[in-house]
Structure formats: structure tokens, C-alpha cells
Amino acid sequence: MGGRHLSEPYLSVYGHVTVDQIISIERFLDPGITADALSKKTTLGGTGPNIAVSAARLGCPTALCAFVGPDFPAKYMDLMRDSGLVMDEVVTLEDEETSTCVIINDRDLVTRVFFYQGPQGHADETGVRLDRMARVSERVHFCTGQPSYYISLMRDLRGGPAIGLDPAQEVHRVWNPDLVGQAMPMADVLFCNELEAETLQRYLGIGDVLDAGPSLVVRTEGDKGSLARVDGETVRIPAVKAARAVDVTGAGDNYRAGFYAALYRGYEVPEALLMAASVASFAVEEVGALNNTPIWDQVVERAEPYLGEIC
């Protein structure tokens, strides 16, 4: 692993690069009545940087393949670059605005989310094909973004890098049975959580997402751990206990980052999934997906007591 050139990543990640605006209010009011914001916090978000930055910080040579607009804050570009990411295919499109997510929470933690897709959501229309990094990677991870754009890339990459499919929450509203049916035969790895698994099962007409077809299917189950089908064999991966649980939002993205970082280091799949669970356990200890990335020795130390629980 030490001989890979920086410009030739082990992993390429596709997903939204988003500016998150998190606002708290006392309560939601009737339409037409203004509610005062009690607090407002703006952060870097999106599945793209959440997975890619975490993987890079964990020592896995990683490229991010994504679109932003000229409004994207320079400090977030610096944050991604400082993580060690290969940024050759983070492309600024002058006539676009960056993906934005506005999250409003009231005092009872009732949440309303408003999401602007930005160019990642209509990548076909940009006329820009992001494929140079993927072609020199060993693994490619497709997460949120325009399905038809990703399916086209997957077709061109067949026979090359191992392809990971991870529609995430967009499986419910952006993907459909036809799109999932096109993508699934080209995927080597499928990631989902329990709720996403139900939608995938309905789309595919199967009773268990673990039977979806890829050689590796991973279904995360929160504090119950995760279940995987590895080359036809079902494997239960325990949850790794966090010191405290503050914010679970970025746990899934960090799980994926930890998995790829472990594969890069030569771990077999079951052990790599345990390392993934260990990385996720650090993420939930602080607010924000990227605010508590461990060093690899910490990942291994926390995971080791659970090695005997893989079954």
C-alpha cells in the first residue's frame, strides 16, 4: 500500500458536497408567521466529504469526485485539501450553486429538512464526466447524486475497480425500481441501513436485501451492529461501544470510510467491517460527522475486544 502515488487513489468517492445550515427555533408557527432563530450553525456536509475526508484522515488514499458552485466556502475547500484528499475532480461550475441542506429543529427536536441538490443532482446536464480518478482506483464508492450519471459511469468502469453502491436516503425518493435494477448487477458491494433495505427489497422484489446480488451486501442496524452477506455467507458484526453518544448523523458515512481504510491496510472483509464499526463509534461522540476522526491505532484498540464476536 505504501507505493501508491498520491494522484492514484485507492478509493474514489462520489456524493454531494453540501453546505449544511442547522437552525434551532422555539417552535414551528403557522404559515405566514415568522419564527425567530435561537441559533444557527453552518458546516461542511454531504455524503461525499463525510466519507472521503474520513477515509483520507484514516490513511486511505482517497479522491473526491464531485461538483460545487463558486459560492462554496474556501475554508471548506481547505479543510478537504488538508485532510489529504486527492482533489483533481472536485470541479467548480460557474453557473451553479452548491448543494445546500437547511435543517430546522424546534425545542421538542421536531426536525424539518430542506435539501437543494445542486449540480450533483443533475450531473448529466453539466457535460462534465468525472472518471479520471475512478479509472486509476482500486475501489469506487457511489453514494448520493444523480442515479443516471452514476449508472453511466458504472457501465464504463466495469471490469476495472470494485464498485460500491450506496444510494443512502435518496433510495426512497431519487432512485426507483428501474434505476436500482440497472445499477445492482454492476455493483460488487451494496451498503444500506434497515430502512433503506426495506425500500431496496420492494424495488427488487426480494424478501431480504442480503440476497440482492453483489458479492458483498452490508446492512447496518444501529446499536445492534451490522449484518453482511460475504460471498454467500452471512456474517454478524457487533456494534462497537462509544464512550458517549452525542450525534449519530455521521455514523454511517464514517462506517464506510473505516471499511475502505481497513481494506487498504489488508484486512479481510469481516475484520474490515468491525474496524468500520469502530470508526463509527468515534464519530457519534461529537456533533458533526468529521469532528472526531480517530487515528488508526485508536480504531484497532477499540475494535480488538470485539474480534471474537464476529460470527
pLDDT at res. 286: 86
Q: pLDDT tens string for the chain (311 positions)?
A: 444 445 689 999 999 999 999 899 999 999 999 999 999 989 899 999 999 999 999 999 999 999 999 999 999 999 999 999 999 999 999 999 999 999 898 888 788 999 999 999 999 999 999 999 999 999 999 999 999 999 999 999 999 999 999 999 999 999 999 999 999 999 999 999 999 999 999 999 999 999 999 999 999 999 999 999 999 999 999 999 999 887 777 899 999 999 999 999 999 999 999 999 999 999 988 878 888 899 999 999 999 999 999 98
Ordered domains of the chain (ranges, CATH): 11-26+38-306 (3.40.1190.20)
Give the DSSP letter of residue 207. S
**Which residues, other chains included, contact 132 with Cβ-Cβ below 8 Å and sequence gap of 6+?**
88, 89
How many alpha carbons lie under 13 Å from residue 209 in its C-beta half-sphere? 26
CA distance between the termini of the chain: 28
Q: Is the pTM of this model over 0.75?
A: yes
Neighbours of 59 (CB within 10 A): 15
